[in-house]
Amino acid sequence: MRNIYLRDKAVEYALKYAITPNPDFRFFYEYGDGGGDCTNFISQCLLAGGAPMAYDAWPWWYNNNGTKQTDNDTWSVSWSVAHSLYWTLKSRGELKLVGIKAIEVSDISLLDMGDVIQYEKDGNIYHTVIITAFAYQNGYRFPLVSQHTYNGRNVTYIKPWSNKMHFMKIYVT
């Protein structure tokens, strides 16, 4: 088995399902000020990019239970919750576990297509997006992202409601 993150496949998936969600996966509706489908969607993108599901101490997985109907699907918390995905990716990287992981970098210019940005407000990481393109202005390269909650394809990465961003360099070993 070759463990490699295929960024182009993750981006291709993100662009295909950014506006209209993939019916083969449960869709998480937004409720009140929280919840939604953003991290579930990003996990699907990572999976499409070749990230193997993990069933170890830092789990990341989705199980459709062999059906097309999503009512009985199950998943790890890190598959669908932004702050859990953050800690899972970061911890898997620090512990050098086999499979999906990330290194948090301080400079957005170090990110590539297929990398992830997570947004924090008041100490809570609550939103996840994937870089699907880059735009250039005045000699500066800045990412465009695709996301759910709200559904957007190649939109700005700047979110005025966030007071901190986490730049996650994704890789698989």
pLDDT digits (tens, 9 = 90+) for 68-97: 889 899 999 999 999 999 999 999 999 999
DSSP 43: H
Is 34 a residue whose pLDDT tops 70? no
Q: Where are the domains of the chain?
A: 7-172
pLDDT band of 33, cuts 50, 70, 90: low
pLDDT digits (tens, 9 = 90+) for 100-138: 999 999 999 999 999 999 999 999 999 999 999 999 999
Is 2 a residue whose pLDDT tops 70? no
Return the higher-pLDDT residue of 138 and 31. 138
Element (H, E) at 131: strand 124-137
Mean pLDDT of the chain: 95
91 with 110: CB under 8 angstroms? no
Give the separation between CA 85 and CA 71, rounded to whole angstroms.
22
3-class secondary structure per residue, 6-36: CHHHHHHHHHHHCCCCCCCCCCCCEECCEEC
Is 30 a residue whose pLDDT tops 90? no
pLDDT band of 158, cuts 50, 70, 90: very high
Coil, helix or strand at residue 106: coil
Among 1, 173, 9, smallest CA distance to 93 is for 173
